Amino acid sequence: MRGLALGLSLLAALAPMHAQAQSAEARLAAYAERVERLEDEDAIENLQATYGYYFDKGLWDAVADLFAEDGSFEYGQRGVYIGKQRIERALLLFGRLGLGPGRLNNHMQLQSVITIAPDGRTATARWQGMVMLSEPGANGVWGVGQYENAYVKERGIWKISKLHFYVQAMADYDLGFGRGALRLEGPSALFPPDRPPTEVYRAFPSGYTPPFSFVHPVTGEALPVTQPADDVARPK
């Protein structure tokens, strides 16, 4: 009995140490995962910023290389292009390879909200987009919109799996949004898209806002878009 009692007392003494060791290992694993997710977020932010710099300068081949092989590209109401080769050719609709004299093609990406999947293999992100355009013989253009993008990690490298820029307003530089709002361009007849636009909507003065890909950071609930849908997309 004394031996049993001694053994039980030893187990009782060792149990907290074992629990502490497990707790330390669990905390270390949790910290390592948090660091990896933060590194994923940083890599995606750099990936999207790189897209912006390349897109601004008309480096279409470099832009296409940022996409996964089966990635998709959608800009406003132009439709969806699928696959790196198709995306690279579609980008030529924005101008020749490399910007020519007198051309401006700035697309800034701001206010990022990046959501990494628990397994660290995929992610989504929303960005605010600001646009400044110019070409010879034409007035400048101001624009604004939102990106709802998706990303995939392939062999440890993050790539764009879906880029969708919702153009919300385009306007003449001098007249401004109040007097010079421009209509969105539709699908190209020269190089038709692989699919029609994912969502049909009109730009300003209509007020379409794409659904949010992330939940409310405090309540954890999905954030509904409360404004009325554009009647152009309503069934007739």
Distances (CA, A) of 163 to 50, 63, 150, 182, 196: 14, 11, 7, 23, 15
Does residue 49 lie within any of the structural domains? yes
Does residue 186 lie within any of the structural domains? yes
Q: Residue 146's domain spans which residues?
A: 23-233
Does residue 12 lie within any of the structural domains? no
The string of pLDDT tens digits covering residues 8-25 is 464 455 555 555 556 878
Distances (CA, A) of 219 to 14, 84, 167, 214: 42, 39, 29, 12
Q: What is the pLDDT of residue 4?
A: 47
The string of pLDDT tens digits covering residues 70-128 is 999 999 999 999 999 999 999 999 999 998 888 999 999 999 999 999 999 999 999 99
Does residue 79 lie within any of the structural domains? yes
Does residue 13 lie within any of the structural domains? no
pTM of this structure: 0.84
CB 102 within 8 A of CB 131: no
The string of pLDDT tens digits covering residues 161-219 is 999 999 999 999 999 999 999 999 999 999 999 999 999 999 999 888 888 999 999 99
Number of domains into which the chain is organized = 1
Q: What is the mean pLDDT of residues 221-232?
A: 73
Q: What is the pLDDT of residue 236?
A: 45
CB 141 within 8 A of CB 169: no
Q: What is the mean pLDDT of residues 58-81?
A: 97
Does residue 15 lie within any of the structural domains? no
Q: Which residue has the higher pLDDT, 228 or 169?
A: 169
Q: What is the CATH number of the domain that holds 31?
A: 3.10.450.50
